[in-house]
Amino acid sequence: MDKAGLNIKGNIFGGLTAGVIALPLALAFGAASGLGAAAGLYGAILVCLFATIFGGTPTQISGPTGPMTVVIASIAAVYTGNPKIVFCAVMLAGIFQILLGISKAGRYIKYVPYPVISGFMSGIGVIIILLQLNPILGFDSSGSTIDAVLGLFSSVKNLNLQSLFLGILTLVIVFFTPKKITRKIPSALIALIFATIVCIALNFDVKVIGEIPSSLPEIQLTMISVKELFDIIPIALTLAVLGSIDSLLTSLVADSITKTKHNSDKELIGQGIGNFAAGMFGGIAGAGATMRTVVNVNSGATGRLSGITHSIFLVCVIVFFAPYAAKIPLSVLAGILVKVGFDIIDYKFIKIVKAAPKSDLIVMLIVFLITVFNDLIFAVGTGIVLSSVLFAVNVSKQFDIKFEEPSGTDECNLEKNENILIIHIKGIFFFGSASQLLSRLEEVMDKQCVIIDCSTIKTMDISAVFALEEMIVRLKDKKIKVLLLLNNRQLAGKMLRQGLINVISKENIVFDEKRAIKKASAICPQ
């Protein structure tokens, strides 16, 4: 292998292995999206191909994922008779991802709090499981989790036993195939082939994938109205943000295995180009797929040739094996997706839930419930806002205010002066703690001079500066002299530029507590 990572044998083998794993998942995600198995294959081919060529993680394998498919299914359920609008949403999502990459937003994705990601991913896992229950019973997938749960009783009464048998057979295979076998052949592929053979051999009457085009996809461009454009923008943003988070987290996994460093912004651009191409040619949206990427790397992949090989393999499936894929039962794909749903659930957080901080647990549960029963992007937004508020509350506890009259000091030849008060402000002084300072201002109104000691503040934001400004103004309105004690001149200059120069002169800013007390005693003698 040279410095460019051109290990041809390892890359080809890695790409083929990842392609074998991707095949049943692409078919399953396509069927679950409501756009057909072929859309899943097209998405797997195009997203991976372009993300590999233009992205910033050479060994990453991209394609349809559970979270992305759930979003696609939600919009496909609304535009049942007009799938081209869905493909427009995928294209628009790709454009948003490209813009995120160009604006160098990739570095900020990592700041999404873990409880938000945990609740979201577990919620996605539960959604996938719930939406596949009806297909296992022989019925069409519901458009929402609530519909799936409400319709389950009716489905059970009228279930197709043959479909249920195939679904259970699939679940047994994907959950209980020994690891020594799955290391060589993915359990999903074993289930796909074996259950389909059983279905054909026993001549079962169940719903199947149906015809898959045995040729390359055609362009799916269409004109949409302004109203339709505004309707799909939120969905496209959801896909873009979700796909970006999914892809960059997978990039971090790839980095940890390969001991390399990906380019986040370039990866977003590559993913965006891939999703734009997928939407243009009738494929569903995709993102970096962790399991497929790990298998790719562990199989010997070191560079971009592996992702290209993965896409070429899936093209060959369409060209040469489409008639066989058409006979795959939908209940088999549903069983495979149930396993995917269980794999997506964040067991890492669940295992430590009793020891987790209560605030993190609250965020995780709220994001989980909103994800499952309401809206994905609203869930993430709510989680981020709630995490920020709870973080601000916790940080505000590191803020302390102490009022103290200066005691006599032999060095300064000063006696205790009851006309002077020192306000010691310690810790993190920011918007969450600024109100605490102002709320105690009445306690100092009987003094003649106040020293505001900011020398031990760890950090300060603009809200804190404005709170200081208001405090100084209110004290001066009561004819109280104010001195500001800081720990360095650089901070003093910064605070003056931020507005304090309008309420306090440079002469009243001091950098030593003893000098401050001495100056205050001169201004306000006992």
- What would the pLDDT profile of 468-523 be if each residue is shown by its tens digit? 888 888 888 888 898 998 888 887 888 888 878 888 888 888 888 888 888 888 88
Structural contact between residues 278 and 41, judged by C-beta atoms closer than 8 angstroms? no
Q: Is residue 210 packed enough to be buried (19+ CB in 10 Å), middle (13-18) or exposed (0-12)?
A: middle
Crossing angle of helices 8-33/66-78, nearest 10°?
30
Q: What is the mean pLDDT of residues 131-144?
A: 80
Q: Which of 39, 61, 29, 59 is nearest to 287 (CA)?
A: 61
- Give the pLDDT confidence of 233-253 residue by residue, as tens digits: 988 998 998 899 889 888 887
Domain architecture of the chain: domains with CATH: 9-390 (no CATH), 400-523 (3.30.750.24)
Token pair in block for residue 179: 């690891």
154-187: pLDDT as tens digits: 777 788 899 999 999 999 999 999 988 887 787 8
Q: At 410, is the pLDDT very low, low, confident or very high (cuts 50, 70, 90)?
A: very low
Average pLDDT for 298-327: 89
Kindly tell me if the per-residue pLDDT of 5 is higher than 70: no
| Paired tokens of 16 | 């083929």
Residue 2 has pLDDT above 60, yes or no: no
Give CA–CA dist 47/275, Å, rounded: 6
How many Cα atoms are found within 13 Å in the side-chain-facing hemisphere of 183?
A: 4
Q: Of 228, 314, 343, 301, which Cα lies nearest the Cα of 13? A: 301
- What is the share, in percent, of the chain residues with pLDDT greater than 70? 96
30: three-class secondary structure by DSSP: helix
First to last CA, the chain: 83
CA dihedral 204, 210, 213, 219 (to 10 degrees): -160
Which pLDDT belongs to residue 408?
55
Nearest to 183 by CA among 10, 17, 337: 17
Q: pLDDT tier at 3 (50, 70, 90 boundaries)?
A: very low
pLDDT at 392: 78
Indicate the helix (H) or strand (E) that contains 288: strand 287-288
90 φ/ψ angles, rounded to the nearest 5 degrees? -65, -45
- A 10 A CB-CB count for 486 gives 20
